[in-house]
Amino acid sequence: MNGFGRLFRLSIFGESHGESVGILIDGCPPGLNLTVEDFLPDLERRKGGILKGTTPRKEDDLPLIKSGVFQNTTTGAPLLIWFENKNTRSGDYEKQRTFPRPGHADWVAHEKFGGFEDFRGGGHFSGRLTVAIVAAGVIAKKLLADLEILANILEIGGESDLERGLQKAIEAKDSVGGIVECRVQNLPVGLGEPFFDSLESVLAHAVFSIPAIRGIEFGTGFSAAKMFGSQHNDAIETKQGKTRTNHAGGVVGGISNGNELVFRIAVKPTSSTPREQHSLNWETGKVETFSIKGRHDLCIALRVPVVLEAVTAIVLADFMMLEQKIGQVNVFTT
């Protein structure tokens, strides 16, 4: 159940400290020009080690295209995008194996997979796998060249001055969370289905596959619950469906309405805080104090925007194919 999508279909694989992570993409139309260089800008945005507050672990993050591309062009066959893990320091994790880390998947993975899980650095649960999602997002964005998909951080540690939010974390020697917003321009009308596969349903589905996400809201979101209907309703003003306000965030009845798509997500503080924590010691069976080793982000939210854009593009590409707005052969050749 590591797959996603109906016509633009992804299957993700890999482990943080295993040999590789990557993604297999089935359903990408033929004729799309694609080279390694296409991936680099978004992969760079996702990388740690650059921004204050992100992990010093660095991977080359060089995407290897192992199938589905011939003469720099997609063929219509499945695309395997593969990343080697080069810079692993698994010893860090084996040492602290006795403590299932709070906020991490250690304990649930152990229970679910009967103790056979690759526990090193979160294994298959690691945020490392978002590199593969970003890669898939790059392809989706190329398929959606007419759209503008942009995610931005609105808040860090409760502060809209992001620098101040980070400084709080550094001073407190603790990790912090944040709020990220995504906006999409030029989305056509009609994406989404009335029941079960509403545009919000599928976007939320994808968003909650990003580690550390705790909430999502569209348009006015939770504030809508405090408004009157006459305030919240967006008056339709043109034959193209443009509305006076955009409290709906571009989705009505589960379907895109041609206005700007707007949604926000809540990112929890990085679970790997530098501060001492308590957890069960699996060996002694007692709750004890311990500290997280390894290299981690103080604020994972800083790296989320490009991942959020990626899942958004992935979802929209799939819906565009369902609506037959992309996918015909030769559409990308010029």
CB of 95 to its own copies, least distance (A): 17
Interface pick for its own copies out of 54, 55, 88, 243 (rule CB under 8 A): 243
Among 63, 121, 178, 294, binds its own copies (CB under 8 A): 178
Applying the rule CB under 8 A, the residues between 183 and 242 that interact with its own copies are 189-190, 193-198, 200-202, 204-209, 211, 213-239, 241
Q: Are 109 and 101 in contact (CB under 8 A)?
A: no
Find the shortest distance in angstroms from Cβ 172 to its own copies.
6
**Minimum CB distance to its own copies, residue 150 (Å):** 20
Residues with Cβ within 8 Å of 48's Cβ and at least 6 positions away in sequence, in order, are 54, 55, 56, 57, 58, 295, 297, 303
User: Whole-angstrom Cα distance, residue 19 to residue 240?
Assistant: 51
Q: Is residue 142 a contact residue for its own copies (CB under 8 A)?
A: no
Half-sphere exposure of 223 (CA within 13 A, CB side): 10
Radius of gyration of the chain (CA): 21
91 part of the interface to its own copies, by CB under 8 A: no
* Residue selected from 52, 56, 58, 77 as contacting its own copies according to rule CB under 8 A: 77
Kindly write down the DSSP assignment for every residue of 48-76, as one continuous string.
SSSSTTS-S-----PPEEEESEETTEE-S
Binding mask 6-45 for its own copies (x = CB under 8 A): xx-xxxxxxx--xxxxx-x-xx--xx--------------
Q: Which two tokens stand for residue 332?
A: 């990308």
Query: What is the rounded distance in angstroms from the CA atom of residue 81 to the CA atom of residue 36?
Result: 10
Residue 296, amino acid: H
Contacting residue, 50, 97, 113, 145, with its own copies by CB under 8 A: 113
Print the binding letters for residues 267-306 with its own copies: x by CB under 8 A, - otherwise. xxxxxxx-x-xxxx----x-x-------------x-----
